[in-house]
Structure formats: C-alpha cells, structure tokens
C-alpha cells in the first residue's frame, strides 16, 4: 500500500522558515517524480514544486520560486520542502504527491498525481 506522510507544518511569522518532510512507503520511491501541492483556506489546489526521481532536476511555480526548495533523499525514502521568506499568502495545507508513472507535464504541475498524503498545515501570521 502506497503511503505518504507529511510533517513539519506549524505557525510561523512572516519572513520565517519551515522545513516540510514527506515519508514515503509502499513503492519504489527512487523511481518516481514527486510533487508538492498546496490548498489555501477556501481556495483550490495549487501546484508548488516537483522533483525528478533522481533529484537532479527541480521545478517551481512562479509564486514560490526563489523562496522554496524541493529536495529528496532516496536512501531515506523522504521528500522535503524548505520554505523560506514565508508570506501570509503561503498559509495553506501542504500535500506531497506521487507523480503518475509515464505522465508528462509534471515539470509544470500538469500531470496526474496518483497518491497523496494527508497534508501538513502551514500558517504564516504575526
């Protein structure tokens, strides 16, 4: 059974930082691209970032580029998202998701995601 478990969310002041983690199990983690997606209160899903299975290529939405960093440790089956220079508009539930094998468009958030975690809440507020 595929499982994705996020952690690391919390309350942080504007300008602060957080590091989110996503522990993966039930599949060969190192064989799949992975993504982070967020949902702000009352809004739809927004793609945040994706990373190649090897970790060698990373992609970001314009809204987080230069502030967030996606990474992975395939030996630990873990995906990360470093959030820096946080803004109030970054407040959202953050989900990690597995990219459907063989799909295209994942570098821009336009690919199917076939497994999701339960999410971790990030609240940016003073």
CA–CA gap between residue 104 and residue 99 (Å, rounded): 9
Q: Residue 61: which of 41, 89, 42 has the closest Cα?
A: 89
Q: Residue 107: what pLDDT?
A: 86
Residues in the chain, overall count: 126
Walk along the chain (126 residues) and give the pLDDT tens digit of each residue.
Answer: 999 999 999 999 999 999 999 999 999 999 999 999 999 999 999 999 999 999 999 999 999 999 999 999 999 999 999 999 999 999 999 999 999 988 888 888 898 999 999 999 999 999
Query: Please, what is the Cα angle at 108 between 105 and 114, to 5 degrees?
Result: 60
Distance of CA 16 to the CA centre of its chain: 18
């Amino acid at each position: 059974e595929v499982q994705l478990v996020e952690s690391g969310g919390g309350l942080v002041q504007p300008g602060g930082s957080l590091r989110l983690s996503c522990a993966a199990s039930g599949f060969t983690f190192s064989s799949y691209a992975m993504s982070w997606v967020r949902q702000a209160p009352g809004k739809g899903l927004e793609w945040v970032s994706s990373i190649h299975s090897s970790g060698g290529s990373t992609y970001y939405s314009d809204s987080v580029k230069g502030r967030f960093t996606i990474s992975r440790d395939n030996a630990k089956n873990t995906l990360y998202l470093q959030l820096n220079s946080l803004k109030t508009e970054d407040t959202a539930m953050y989900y990690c998701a597995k990219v459907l094998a063989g799909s295209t468009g994942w570098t821009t958030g336009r690919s199917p995601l076939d497994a999701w975690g339960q999410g971790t809440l990030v609240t940016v507020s003073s």
